[in-house]
Amino acid sequence: MNALIILDLQNDFTPGGSLAIEKGDTIIQVVNSLQDHFDLVVATQDWHPGNHRSFASNNPGKNPFDTIEINGLSDTLWPDHCVQGSAGADFHPGLKTKNIAAIFRKGMDPGTDSYSGFYDNDHKTSTGLAGYLKAKNVKEVFFCGLAGDICVYYSVKDSVKEGFDTTLIEDAAMPLNMQNYTILKKELSEMGVSIIKSEKILNKSK
């Protein structure tokens, strides 16, 4: 059993959004075309309360992309994004959602950020994603979405730790910082992650 995990393909992370990733919308067609090639499709969604501590606006005197310490962890401050119930938190309208069997929302604790689709950043709170996949007898997990060097990266690392056979579909993810993404992909490869192009999946039948 295999699964495709779509990370945070939301309006605020695509052009026009409050934390837009350049060309973030260009992967949507690839993500849509991949979905029919998997036994299970799951998505994650950033779902922050308005008072989230990772928002620069909630830290007087701080600006977006400043770094502070939250609960003993060094954390980046962001523009307000993916606020619960807002249009920015919605999936991009171009994303095909009919195949998505479950949605795991993250970043709901106002005091802790959550990059990974599996855990909050302090690794004390699980989203339930790992348990869900294991209950479905998923062995192979493939990742795509936004941002490649942040939420996708941390999700891939946690997938390896959870014991899944893990693959990153690199042309179905777009990073905030391409240079950083290149370095992180090398790290993931050294952890045993397979890094492939979407054509490897699209050119073979399910």
- What is the rounded CA–CA span in Å between residue 184 and residue 83? 28
What 124-128 contacts at long range (C-beta under 8 Å, 24+ apart), as own/partner pairs, is: 127/44, 128/104
| CA distances, 8 to each of 66, 70, 88, 142, 144 (Å) | 22, 22, 11, 14, 9
- What is the rounded CA–CA span in Å between residue 154 and residue 162? 12
Q: Which residues contact 43 (CB under 8 A, 6 or more apart)?
A: 5, 6, 7, 9, 91, 97, 100, 102, 103, 104
- Considering 151, 157, 158, 185, which one is annotated as catalytic? 151
Catalytic annotation on 96?
no
Catalytic annotation on 23?
no
Q: Residue with structure tokens 């493939």?
A: 142
Catalytic annotation on 106?
yes
Q: Which of 109, 103, 48, 105 is nearest to 79 (CA)?
A: 48
Write out the E strands in 1-146.
2-7, 40-46, 67-70, 73-76, 100-106, 140-146
- Considering 106, 144, 157, 185, which one is annotated as catalytic? 106
Q: Which active-site residues does the annotation give? A: 8, 106, 151
